[in-house]
């Protein structure tokens, strides 16, 4: 079974600063996909970024980037220039290449302080 661990239940960051959310996972698979989803107070689940395990280059989407360390099974999310709208619950998710389901971490609640 795959497990996803987010060791930071809560974090806070000052507006305009940078914050990094950590995620580790356990798998024996070689090909898989990793995701970060954001859930603001509206509760809508929004895809932030995704990473294919076979790609060495770290994914980036505007202010969001990941640090993917395959050997260490680590997949952290960096948010630069934090904005108030980044306040949300962030979930890390894993999916096997041959699978059909996500395995979610327990989430990190991020608060951006004005």
Partner 1 sequence: DTAVSQTPKYLVTQMGNDKSIKCEQNLGHDTMYWYKQDSKKFLKIMFSYNNKELIINETVPNRFSPKSPDKAHLNLHINSLELGDSAVYFCASRSRGAYEQYFGPGTRLTVT
User: Which residues of the chain form contacts with partner 1 (CB under 8 A)?
Assistant: 33, 35, 37, 39, 42-47, 50, 89, 91, 95, 100-102, 104, 106-107
Q: What are the Cα distances from residue 82, in Å, to 15, 41, 73?
A: 5, 17, 26
The tokens for 84 are 């108030």
Tell me whether residue 75 or residue 91 sits nearer to partner 1 (CB atom): 91
Give the integer Cα–Cα distance in Å for 17 and 63: 11
Minimum distance, C-beta of residue 83 to partner 1, in the bound complex (Å): 22
Q: How far is CA 22 from the centre of its chain?
A: 7
Tell me whether residue 38 or residue 76 sits nearer to partner 1 (CB atom): 38
Tell me whether residue 11 or residue 14 sits nearer to partner 1 (CB atom): 11
């Amino acid at each position: 079974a795959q497990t996803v661990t987010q060791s930071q239940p809560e974090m806070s960051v000052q507006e305009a600063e940078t914050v990094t959310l950590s995620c580790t996972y356990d798998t024996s698979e070689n090909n898989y996909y990793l995701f970060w989803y954001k859930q603001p107070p509206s509760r809508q689940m929004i895809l932030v970024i995704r990473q294919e395990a076979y790609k060495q280059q770290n994914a980036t989407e505007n202010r969001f980037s990941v640090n993917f360390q395959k050997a260490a099974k680590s997949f952290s999310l960096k948010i630069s220039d934090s904005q108030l709208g980044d306040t949300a619950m962030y979930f890390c998710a894993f999916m096997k290449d041959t699978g059909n389901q996500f395995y979610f971490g327990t989430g990190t609640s991020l608060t951006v302080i004005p």
